[in-house]
Structure 1
Amino acid sequence: MTSLLETMAPYEMTGSWAVWPPSESYDRTSDISFPVGDLDGVLHARSIILGLNPGESSVERTPWQNFHTAPRHNDHFLAEAFRDTPHWGAYMTDLLTEVNSKSNTLDLSDKTIHRDVVVLVEQFQALGSADPLVIVIGKKTAKAFKEHEPVLAAALGLASVRWVAVPHYSAANGALHGNSPDKYRRLVLEALQDTDCLL
């Protein structure tokens, strides 16, 4: 039987999974690299975590590295937020394909997003999840996703896509999460509290 890791290998340079090396909690000093090892039974497609776009990396990208990079990207916030939740092991990807760390310069035109939704549909279909819960990270992602959700739903044969928005984990959103992984976790769990029964 083919593993999800093998199935999704065509997207390994942009996609990833909500799994990090084991830790009781995650902070700036934690190892947040993508764990190498047996992940059968851990990875799943019941929920899909969606960012806006891949940020620029100061190091050469390796497979499944997205969402598992240096502390300056605050990726340890994600590890802490999803630790010991039903979403640990979920597939992670971005709405847009443009690699850009400056979200205010992104091409958010309907044409671009519509084009990239096609790529997103391909990933959803490859995952084989009939009706996943999509966890959308940040207000910009949520706005763009909401506008294009009908396109995604139609392509997946659904009346609508189940989705929920959570705050962004970036340092730029520090006024909300106080640059605290623990506080960010609480905000995310609060946003997700009514969704776990839907998995």
Structure 2
Amino acid sequence: MDNKIERMRGYSALASWAVWESNRADGEFKNEADLVEDIDFSIYEDQLKKSNTIFVAMNPGGEFDEEKAKLATRKIENKERPWNNFHNVGRSRDYLLAQAIKGTPEYGSYMTDFFPIVGSNSSTITKFINSIDNKELLERLILEFDEEISLLLPKEKEIRLLCIGKKPYEWSEKFLINSKLKLKKTYKIFYIPHYSGANNGGIKNEAEKLGVENYYPTVVKTILKKIRDEQ
């Protein structure tokens, strides 16, 4: 049996799977309290889709430390709470993403952040990423990303990245689509809005554009269906 969890465990500090558990009897995710934080993903092994679709967000939140950032790597195993990214209760509003992906063909997909550079201030992270002084670091991290995806999907030539937010979409375009590095995979990128409260305006704009309810899960389900229909 192809055990994807064991194969990718070395990346479990940054990555996760689009599988969630709810405290509600109906399995829905209506608010933060509905989300179960610590999941035994091994019981869902058969639901982890070996597809070429991957969700990619920006970077892990936390306090930015430039010296630590310069030593960043994707290859980090979280032994205490593996796969906890995108599965947290609190200000993150991860429950909205859970509800958005629930019941879709994308359920069970691999999820990760584009860069493993910790920092909650997007301006600080962007400045660090754009600095010419960090060019070699970024090239190494892009190659690590490609290596990680190649380990996950060794037979797939083209990878579909569902970018959660504008920044990972821009980075994917810059560092993957237009990359001068020799990558093992080719990438096709798609944008879905981020579920952060700071992006409520962006979510509303997408809802109006699509002609659907101004509710994040509805917006994302509509976008995902549109992406599938166009393939």
The one-character-per-residue Cα deviations of 1:73-120 (angstroms, maximum 9, x if unpaired) are 111111011010011111001111101111111022272443321121
Question: Higher mean Cα deviation, 35-44 or 98-107?
Answer: 35-44
Match of 2:32 in 1: 28
| 1:31-46 matched pairs, under 5 angstroms | 31-36=35-40, 37-46=42-51
In structure 2, the CA distance between the partners of 1:108 and 1:32, relative to structure 1 (3 Å rule), is farther
Match of 2:83 in 1: 64
Match of 2:115 in 1: 96
In structure 2, the CA distance between the partners of 1:163 and 1:177, relative to structure 1 (3 Å rule), is same
2:14·2:60 contact (CA, 8 Å) conserved in 1?
Answer: yes
CA RMSD of aligned residues (A): 2.6
2:223 maps to which of 191, 195, 198: 191
1:13·1:61 contact (CA, 8 Å) conserved in 2?
Answer: no
For 1:155 and 1:77, locate their aligned partners in 2 and report how far apart those are by CA, in whole Å. Answer: 33
Greater C-alpha Rg: 2
Paired AA for residue 31 in structure 1: L
For 1:145 and 1:173, locate their aligned partners in 2 and report how far apart those are by CA, in whole Å. Answer: 20
| 1:1-199 matched pairs, under 5 angstroms | 1-22=1-22, 23-36=27-40, 37-46=42-51, 47-56=53-62, 62-106=81-125, 107-109=128-130, 111=135, 112-128=137-153, 130=156, 131-150=158-177, 151=179, 154-158=182-186, 161-177=187-203, 183-197=215-229
In structure 2, the CA distance between the partners of 1:9 and 1:72, relative to structure 1 (3 Å rule), is same
Structure 1 alignment gaps of length 5 or more: none
Percent identity of paired positions between Structure 1 and Structure 2 = 27
Paired AA for residue 190 in structure 1: T
Structure 2 alignment gaps of length 5 or more: 64-78, 205-212
State TM-score, norm by structure 1: 0.85
For 1:153 and 1:169, locate their aligned partners in 2 and report how far apart those are by CA, in whole Å. Answer: 31
Give the deviation of 1:9 after TM superposition. Answer: 0.4
Say how many residue pairs are matched.
Answer: 193
1:95·1:113 contact (CA, 8 Å) conserved in 2?
Answer: no
In structure 2, the CA distance between the partners of 1:121 and 1:157, relative to structure 1 (3 Å rule), is closer
Give the deviation of 1:41 after TM superposition. Answer: 1.7
